[in-house]
Structure 1
């Protein structure tokens, strides 16, 4: 299997690894790379897929019908090797199918496909989950792409996140990586958040609902990335405090409740996909500048 696949021929090019079907670079024709490069001094990830859970599980374990299974933060898909099943000039698709190894952590039969497609100056990423089991398939899923902060060519400029819906959604506080209480107020003001590194001193900013289906991450008077989301109601922003990247994370599912159960079906926004059914989740990002 080819480890790295390149797609795109015009204004935008992307490369994707078989390991985790993870985006490795996103470059424009002027040579600028917009994706975080994965320096392990800060964080070795670039754009992992989160499946079959998003966030942490209590004591690193999930429970299914009362039986416990070891499960690392954000699940196992990001550390799994996917099979390349399709590749064109502007797109590729990778697939992860349940195996004896996955069933030892997550006792279900499934197929997870991850497709990347370049469309002009946009990248579209789509995940599809298929239930191949005999009963419901419980899972959470999310995207975790990291982008440079400052953006290319925007050194010294103020950076921001602006919600398309202009709202100021409430945020929740993580407690040792698990979902805690809602915080009063919102860091957004009329849909706009001025980015400062200290915002992330206490981990990610998580908005379970109300952030809408689109946002812009940009530099004042400089370049920007516009995102739209499909079937991804939860939004998080994250960085290691002081790190030169920002993660824009759309999810359908969140960490377990602090002090709550390890049962996977009781995690917030968990999906129970019916036998024989499939469901898609996607985001589009468009570069401006």
Structure 2
């Protein structure tokens, strides 16, 4: 059963499964992808304790190997609701026998969705409750409609920092070694389906802390990112959505081994420490 939060103009529903947002509506119009399984059943999953794929779907922690599917287990896990109001809710996932079998740590992952006026914020807090350092990656994977409701003209991504970050591609689901020329020009990227025939566009660094997704007319979505240095853009070929994915951590590199700590941009959290990550989207 989903939980609804919202303001007079912006409303969202969140499911305990994956603490995943199921809908986001502005002035009664949908902004979030509906999860049609004919294209992609996801809507806005949280990625933990890895982002992306592991070679052979096998990860390791200090030499201990286990099978782990793409993007980790959080998105397939049921979270507990610990706090709720008309405008916010917090769901929590803690370690269990099932998680420790593949990821040998005591942890707590909390996910808070909050709405104020035309702004949604999503905050993830990771706590290492173990007595040893804990490697992990954390990312968000929200899918927004393309085209946006009421929008006309070409849709584009415009980086707040007007940067031109280098592009990398996935090779067999793993991060490629080759840095490609940036598709951004002075921070602007007009979107076309052809850009995604080779899977996601990934920008390991330089995309900055915010961007705008919009068309010539219609709603403009301004995103802000906290502690999420990597950016990916993805569309399932032919699907009417675009995923705007801020991450701290990426897929493994081919041949680099299965250790989570060796994955690009992975973090290692000291015993007892916490780390916070977040994104917001405001309709402007």
Do they superpose with TM above 0.5?
Answer: yes
Question: After superposition, where does 1:256-275 map in structure 2 within 5 Å?
Answer: 256-275=252-271
TM normalised by structure 2 equals: 0.98
- Residues in 2 aligned to 1:10 and 1:169: alpha-carbon distance in whole angstroms: 37
**Two-structure CA RMSD over aligned residues (Å):** 0.8
- The answer to whether the 8 Å contact 2:20/2:44 transfers is yes
> Is 1:109 matched up with 2:100?
no
- Equivalenced residues, count: 284
Report the TM-score when normalising by structure 1: 0.97
CA deviations on 1:211-259 (whole Å, 9 max, x unpaired) are 0000011111332111000000000000112210000000000000022
Residue of structure 2 aligned with 1:199, choices 183, 195, 200: 195
- Residue 217 (1) aligns with residue 213 (2): yes
Instruction: Answer whether contact 2:212 2:222 (CA < 8 A) is retained.
Output: yes
Unmatched tracts of structure 1, length 5 or more = none
Which has the larger displacement, 215-224 or 124-133? 215-224
* Contact 1:170–1:182 (Cα < 8 Å) also in 2: no
2:63 to 45, 63, 66: 66
Q: Does the alignment pair 1:186 with 2:182? A: yes
Q: Cα offset for 1:183?
A: 3.0
Structure 1 residue ranges (4+ consecutive) displaced by more than 3 angstroms after TM superposition: none
Structure 2 matches for 1:15-30, cutoff 5 A?
15-29=13-27
Q: Does the 8 Å CA contact 1:214/1:227 hold for their aligned counterparts?
A: yes
Question: Partners in 2 of 1:66 and 1:28 — Cα distance?
Answer: 48
Structure 2 portions without partners, runs of 5+: none
- Does 1:93 pair with 2:93? no
Question: Secondary structure, in 3 states, of the residue corresponding to 1:181?
Answer: coil
Provide the rounded CA distance (Å) in 2 between the counterparts of 1:105 and 1:172. 29
The equivalent residue for 2:2 is 4
What is the DSSP-based 3-state SS (H/G/I as helix, E as strand, rest coil) of the residue aligned with 1:183?
coil
For 2:180 and 2:54, how far apart are their aligned partners in 1? Answer: 25
Q: Which residue of 2 aligns with 1:40?
A: 37
